[in-house]
A and B are shown apart, each in its own frame.
Chain A
Amino acid sequence: MADRKKPKVPGLIKGLGVTFNTMAQTMKPKKFGGGAATVQYPHEKETPPIRARGVIALREDNCTSCMLCVRSCPDWCIYIEAHKELAPPRRAGGAPRKVNKLDRFDIDYALCM
């Protein structure tokens, strides 16, 4: 009990300052760098980052079933099933290649954000 820190009054004042500054920042006109973090979506469109691509598109020939998209999906709503196949060698006389053949690629749109 003895070494427990007592609540400090300066901390309380500082907290009030934080909320007040945020309010002042939000109420400042847009042209002076103020405004809320909100984007009023149907009225104004958000400009997406330049590399943003939006919806996932599947190009079956390019897909190696590497599961990267499955693992990075925050909702775990992408399902991939695949099996290995032997493909003909690239050069004559080479060994046949092992490739992943995609069986199923599903996005559960009920879960998808």
Chain B
Amino acid sequence: MFAVDVPYWAQSLLRVLGGTVAVLLPAGTIVYLFLFKMMSFMQSRLGPMEAGPYGSMQLFAEVGKWLQKEDIAPERADLRIFRAAPLVVLMSTFLLVAVVPFGPDAYFTQFDAGVFYMLAVSSISTLGILMAGWSSANKYSLLGGLRAAGQLIAYELPMVLAVLGVVIQAGTMNLQQIVVKQNSDAIFGWDGIGFPYILTQFVGFLVFMIAVQAELTQTPFDMPIAESELVSGYMTEYSGFRFLIFFIAEFATAGVFALIASVLFLGGWGVPFTWFGWDPANLGTVDNWMNVGGPLIMFTKMMVLAAIIMWVRFSYPRFREDQLQRFAWKVLIPVSLLNIMLTAILKVAF
């Protein structure tokens, strides 16, 4: 695949480096641009202004602050599990980004069960959160952890079902193939813009984004860390760099889910293949510059989707626990089931 023959150790190094960038860069950008700046602007304030021009160095200040803090654990905490929990949550993010294709050759790994793997791995973070809640030996943490488990499991279902619509339409679970399909299919014979699945799977896209919002425990669904009731939910006892890891994981996962949504619904890294006469059956015909342009396109789409996630987060008040569960089981799941049925029928009809 690579034009020059890169030895295995260098490839591994590149992958590790690329993975770190792919996780940390979206996280940093989302936190600064959206959490610090957009949120402040939406409340008619300026946000951080002192650290660097327009507060652009604020992130480094924050990370420095967190790294300096003492590493505290409650006396009765289950220490090993308490310390492992944030890492488990962050690990799920890194495992998620491994399957996202950024370009014709720019991917970490690629296999036919990509969608399946993505959905399976994304639920590892639930485990980490439960571990954090249980091992903290704190009733607020435990309540937060239990709420998180209930919520994440409830919203995993609509997410899986929403993605199924795309899988049925694409006829493959390979994320790279889904991108290729979206950029080479034609809409009733017209292939000017490819066929991004948001056009046919708009309901699926909506359900997916709502479920993502809940999976990230962003605000309308932030019952697990409801600060006015539970102090900070499962994160109550964490401070210093352990809290930092939770924080990075939260926003990195937001970025990665935005990337996955752009792959599934918005055409991913691709531009319509007919523009440049590439052959969809053979990825080798795709020009090499797409390995640079593709990640940039992905990044743009990720920013748009993350902006929507954050915008909703800053605008809406929190759901009550029972409303939250009812919304998942009584609205989202039936809607996504209907969506699957319709997609399947139309797939057979056309």
Contacts and interface: CB of A to CB of B under 8 A. Distances in A.
Interface residues of B, number: 14
Contacts of B316: 12, 15
B46 interface: yes
A3 B41 CA distance: 38
Contact of A22 (B41, B46, B49, B312): B41
Contacts of B45: 26, 36-38
Interface residues of A, number: 15
A51 to B, nearest CB: 26
B110 interface: no
B314 interface: yes
B43 interface: yes
Nearest to B44: A37
Contacts of A27: 41
Interface string A3-20: 000000000100110111
B12 interface: no
B311 A20 contact: yes
B300 interface: no
Interface string B30-66: 0000000010111111100100000000000000000
A26 B41 CA distance: 6
Contact of A38 (B42, B46, B314, B315): B46
Contacts of B41: 22-23, 26-27, 36
Given A12-B316, A26-B41, A27-B41, A19 B311 contact: yes
A12 B210 CA distance: 14
A100 interface: no
Contact of A26 (B44, B49, B314, B315): B44
Contact of A25 (B38, B44, B49, B315): B44
Given A18-B315, A26-B46, 20 more contacts: A15-B315, A15-B316, A19-B42, A19-B311, A19-B314, A19-B315, A20-B42, A22-B41, A22-B42, A22-B43, A23-B41, A26-B42, A26-B44, A26-B45, A36-B40, A36-B45, A38-B44, A38-B45, A40-B46, A40-B49
Closest 8 CB pairs of A and B: A26-B41, A19-B42, A23-B41, A19-B315, A37-B44, A23-B42, A38-B46, A36-B46
30 contacts: A12-B316, A15-B315, A15-B316, A16-B315, A18-B315, A19-B42, A19-B311, A19-B315, A20-B42, A20-B311, A22-B41, A22-B42, A22-B43, A22-B44, A23-B42, A25-B44, A26-B40, A26-B41, A26-B42, A26-B45, A26-B46, A27-B41, A36-B40, A36-B41, A36-B45, A36-B46, A37-B44, A38-B45, A38-B46, A40-B46
Interface of A: 12, 15-16, 18-20, 22-23, 25-27, 36-38, 40
